[in-house]
Amino acid sequence: MNAHDPEFNTERDDAPVARPTREQAEEAVRTLLRWAGDDPEREGLLDTPKRVTKAYGDWFRGYDEDPVEMLQRTFEEVEGYDEMVVLRDIRFESYCEHHMAPIIGKAHVGYIPNGRVVGISKLARVVDAFAKRLQVQEKMNAQVAQVLMETLQPHGVAVVLEGEHHCMSTRGVHKPGVSMVTSTMLGAFRDDPATRKEFLSVIGNPTNRMS
């Protein structure tokens, strides 16, 4: 299943779009440079359109990645382990869909296995797959949690994101150092206060974890 498939319900608002050519993208960058008040033909900016389009290929590679596919390989030889698995402080870099400004933060992901576990690197890759798209933090939070719940079918999933939004720190109200904290709790983490409390204890106080 591809993340662009309309049946993939964690990404319903990202329908496939016809991409322009690299040449068209580079010309768009030249237009923005002129709009900013500079000359795209001057020496220092001649290669900027190529560099920007190449950077976009990295910053937004998540559109070409399938989080469901990343989670297909699991392991069942866990000797009956059924306690929570938590990966905390996963650094992510995303981009605000309103201003295309960076969102830099950390993700904390936990789940309670139901007979099988997934490699921990896959959890980090899933976070990146959704982060490397134009995002709203609340939506990204829900997407990560839902794809883990639907694909791994564990007893529960918990995801907490902490992000500094540069659309707020470098423009507008200019308030650097402010972090936004969002969370999604599913299954046992939503239904059992003790389980939720244990997870939050493991990841620590979000307000003290940004650095």
- Domain boundaries 65-203, CATH class: alpha beta
| Fold of the domain spanning 22-61 | GTP Cyclohydrolase I; Chain A, domain 1 (1.10.286)
Q: What is the pLDDT of residue 78?
A: 78
CA 148/CA 112 separation, integer angstroms? 11
Integer-rounded Cα Rg, in Å, for the chain is 20
Q: What percent of the chain is modeled with pLDDT above 90?
A: 77
| Cβ-contact 118, 133 below 8 angstroms | no
Spell out the domain ranges in the chain: 22-61, 65-203
Q: What is the pLDDT of residue 3?
A: 40
CA 102/CA 166 separation, integer angstroms? 5
* Model confidence, pTM: 0.86
CA 153/CA 34 separation, integer angstroms? 51
Chain segment 49-91, per-residue pLDDT in tens: 999 999 999 999 999 999 999 999 999 877 878 899 999 999 9
Spell 164-179 as b/e; 16+ CB within 10 A means b: bbbbbbeeeeeeeeeb
Q: What is the pLDDT of residue 76?
A: 86
Q: To 10 degrees, the CA torsion angle through 150, 160, 125, 165?
A: 130
46, pLDDT greater than 70? yes
6, pLDDT greater than 60? no
| Cβ-contact 92, 128 below 8 angstroms | yes
Chain segment 93-116, per-residue pLDDT in tens: 999 999 999 999 999 999 999 988
Residue type, 145: A
Chain segment 7-36, per-residue pLDDT in tens: 334 444 555 678 899 999 999 999 999 999
Q: Is 165 annotated as a binding residue?
A: no
CA 107/CA 11 separation, integer angstroms? 19
Q: What is the DSSP letter of 95?
A: E
201 token code pair: 């204890």
SS3 content of the chain, % helix, strand, coil (to 5): 45, 20, 35
9 token code pair: 């319900």
Residue appearing with tokens 């936990």:
110
Chain segment 155-202, per-residue pLDDT in tens: 999 999 999 999 888 888 888 888 999 999 999 999 999 999 999 999
